[in-house]
């Protein structure tokens, strides 16, 4: 009889050991992992659905702002903690579904003196019942929290994509302004050199040279400011893409998105699309379930079981046991109050986010309309000013216009062309921001890789 029991004990121990977690080391990285070139980062988007083909972004061609946004999502170092955050939420869900173990109590007492003839034995088995009462609401709250974390991480991906798209647009239009300023600087520098030679030869006065030098100095300052801004924008974009500062690639001209045709309908459906609002909804659902758990937690701690014993006179006894708290002082009132306050806080936060979202969308729509309505007129004014500047330059070469008047024409033409660039940039940035606020044009599910990021 002892041999089968001994085998059973061995198997029971093996099963217990096999169910335990084992330690595996996870050494910290010993160096930074930054790519040298755009081709060295990930550029294959995960498949949108199982069985579909993955999309490859051709990084050898000029990249659109949207493509750069997607590259940022799958390469951004700041998104590398996504897996850990999600795993933490899932671990909490696993913990919420685990029931407490039954309690076993064993006792042994030997006879030291008196009439007893044999040793006494006692054994009891009890299970906490109160945890079963709150089980369903506790698990539902944890599962809602997992979904909330997932939605929050998707919103974080959207924000990273948004940041990258705005930087790409800024770099493109800054580069246009920089090229235009440099193009204007070259003829002015040549004209200033010619006038300086004339002054040195005694054929012109220093007053003739002053407007050229002033215009050249102004352009030099503008070019320097734009170059510094470009360096910062490129550095920020390289960081988002997980590349070393100084990495460069071609950016395509932004394609301005069309104005949404039915803004009111899109605003009404935003809570179904925007991950941050979905996350708040799930957070509220989790808080609501937590409040149910707190209310059910008013049920006092209750353990049900049975006991068996044999005393020193070999009298054996057994029967059920019940252990419970008397709810005189503690009735879980603190947890109930905290859960109620948390739910109210999330309710007000959701309302605040809705109000802010609608106000932001309407403001962006108004800005977009402003940029769009002024862009055509600004283009006409710039073209007219550039035509006048060309005519003025011919008149200056023929001696029919002085240098100061020529610089006035050139300055006007440049400022109006730069104004067009500012309007186009503002329109692109506003439409990109409007798409984000409306929850349009971005992946509906997370695409940041869950394995080690940064490897191509």
- 127 sits in which H/E element: strand 120-128
Q: Is the pLDDT of residue 49 over 70?
A: no
Contact present, 274 and 79 (Cβ < 8 Å):
no
Average pLDDT rounded to a whole number, residues 240-268? 89
Residue 251 has what DSSP assignment? B
Separation of alpha carbons 419 and 228, rounded Å: 20
Query: 65 forms bridges with which residues in the sheet?
Result: none
Separation of alpha carbons 156 and 84, rounded Å: 14
The residue behind tokens 């701690």 is: 301
Predicted pLDDT at 223: 95
Residue 120 φ/ψ, nearest 5 degrees: -100, 145
Q: Is the pLDDT of residue 107 over 90?
A: no
Q: Is the pLDDT of residue 292 over 90?
A: no
Q: What percent of the chain has pLDDT over 70?
A: 92
Predicted pLDDT at 391: 93
**CB-based burial of residue 60 (10 Å sphere; 0-12 exposed, 13-18 middle, 19+ buried)?**
exposed
Q: pLDDT per residue over 64-104, tens digit each?
A: 999 999 999 999 988 888 878 888 888 888 888 888 888 88
Q: Which of 18-32, 174-188, 215-229, 346-360 has the lowest mean pLDDT?
A: 18-32
- Round the average pLDDT of the chain to a whole number and report it: 86
Predicted pLDDT at 18: 57
Q: Is the pLDDT of residue 453 over 50?
A: no
pLDDT range class, residue 1, cuts 50, 70, 90: very low
Average pLDDT rounded to a whole number, residues 245-271? 88
Return the half-sphere exposure (C-beta side, CA atoms, 13 A cut-off) of residue 286: 21
pTM score > 0.85 for this model?
Answer: no
Average pLDDT rounded to a whole number, residues 219-242? 95
Give the length of the chain. 456
Q: Cα-atom radius of gyration of the chain, to the nearest Å?
A: 37
Q: What percent of the chain has pLDDT over 90?
A: 43
The residue behind tokens 């330059």 is: 393
DSSP 23-51: ----PPPSS---BSSGGGS--EEPPSSTT
pLDDT range class, residue 425, cuts 50, 70, 90: very high
pLDDT range class, residue 312, cuts 50, 70, 90: confident
Average pLDDT rounded to a whole number, residues 318-338? 78
Average pLDDT rounded to a whole number, residues 211-220? 90
Structure-token pair, residue 1? 């009889």
DSSP 374-390: HHHHHHHHHHHHHHHHH
């Amino acid at each position: 009889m002892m041999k089968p029991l001994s085998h059973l004990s061995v198997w029971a121990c093996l099963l217990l050991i096999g169910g335990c977690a084992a330690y595996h080391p996870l050494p910290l990285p010993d160096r930074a992992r930054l790519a040298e070139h755009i081709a060295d980062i990930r550029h294959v988007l995960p498949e949108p659905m199982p069985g579909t083909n993955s999309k490859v972004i051709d990084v050898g061609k000029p990249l659109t702002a949207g493509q750069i946004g997607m590259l940022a999502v799958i390469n951004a170092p700041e998104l590398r903690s996504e897996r850990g955050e999600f795993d933490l939420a899932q671990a909490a869900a696993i913990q919420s579904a685990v029931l407490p173990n039954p309690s076993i109590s064993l006792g042994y007492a030997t006879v030291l003196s008196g009439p007893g003839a044999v040793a006494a034995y006692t054994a009891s088995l009890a299970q906490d019942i109160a945890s079963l009462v709150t089980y369903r609401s506790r698990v539902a709250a944890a599962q809602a929290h997992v979904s909330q974390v997932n939605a929050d991480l998707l919103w974080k991906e959207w924000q990273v994509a948004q940041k990258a798209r705005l930087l790409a647009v800024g770099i493109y239009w800054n580069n246009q302004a920089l090229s235009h300023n440099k193009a204007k600087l070259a003829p002015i520098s040549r004209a200033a050199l010619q006038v300086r030679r004339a002054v040195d030869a005694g054929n012109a006065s220093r007053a003739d040279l002053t407007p050229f030098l002033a215009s050249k100095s102004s352009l030099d300052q503008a070019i320097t400011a734009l170059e510094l801004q470009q360096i910062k924008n490129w550095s920020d974009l390289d960081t988002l893409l997980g590349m070393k500062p100084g990495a460069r690639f071609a950016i395509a001209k932004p394609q301005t998105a069309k104005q949404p045709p039915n803004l009111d309908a899109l605003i009404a459906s935003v809570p179904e699309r925007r991950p941050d609002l979905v996350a708040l909804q799930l957070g509220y659902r989790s808080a609501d379930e937590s409040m149910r758990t707190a209310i059910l937690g008013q049920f006092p701690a209750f353990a049900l079981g049975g006991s068996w014993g044999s005393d020193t006179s070999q009298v054996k006894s057994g029967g059920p046991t019940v252990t419970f708290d008397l709810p005189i002082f503690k009735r879980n009132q603190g947890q109930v109050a905290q859960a109620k306050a948390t739910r109210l806080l999330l309710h007000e936060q959701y309302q605040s986010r809705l109000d802010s979202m609608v106000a932001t969308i309407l403001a962006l729509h108004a800005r977009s309309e402003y940029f769009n309505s002024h862009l055509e007129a600004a283009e006409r004014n710039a073209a007219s000013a550039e035509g006048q500047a060309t005519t003025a330059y011919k008149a200056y070469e023929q001696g029919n216009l002085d240098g100061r008047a020529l610089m006035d024409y050139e300055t006007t033409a440049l400022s109006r062309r730069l104004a067009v660039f500012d309007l186009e940039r503002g329109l692109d940035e506003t439409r990109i921001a409007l798409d984000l606020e409306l929850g349009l044009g971005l992946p509906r599910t997370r695409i940041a890789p869950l394995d080690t990021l940064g490897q191509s």
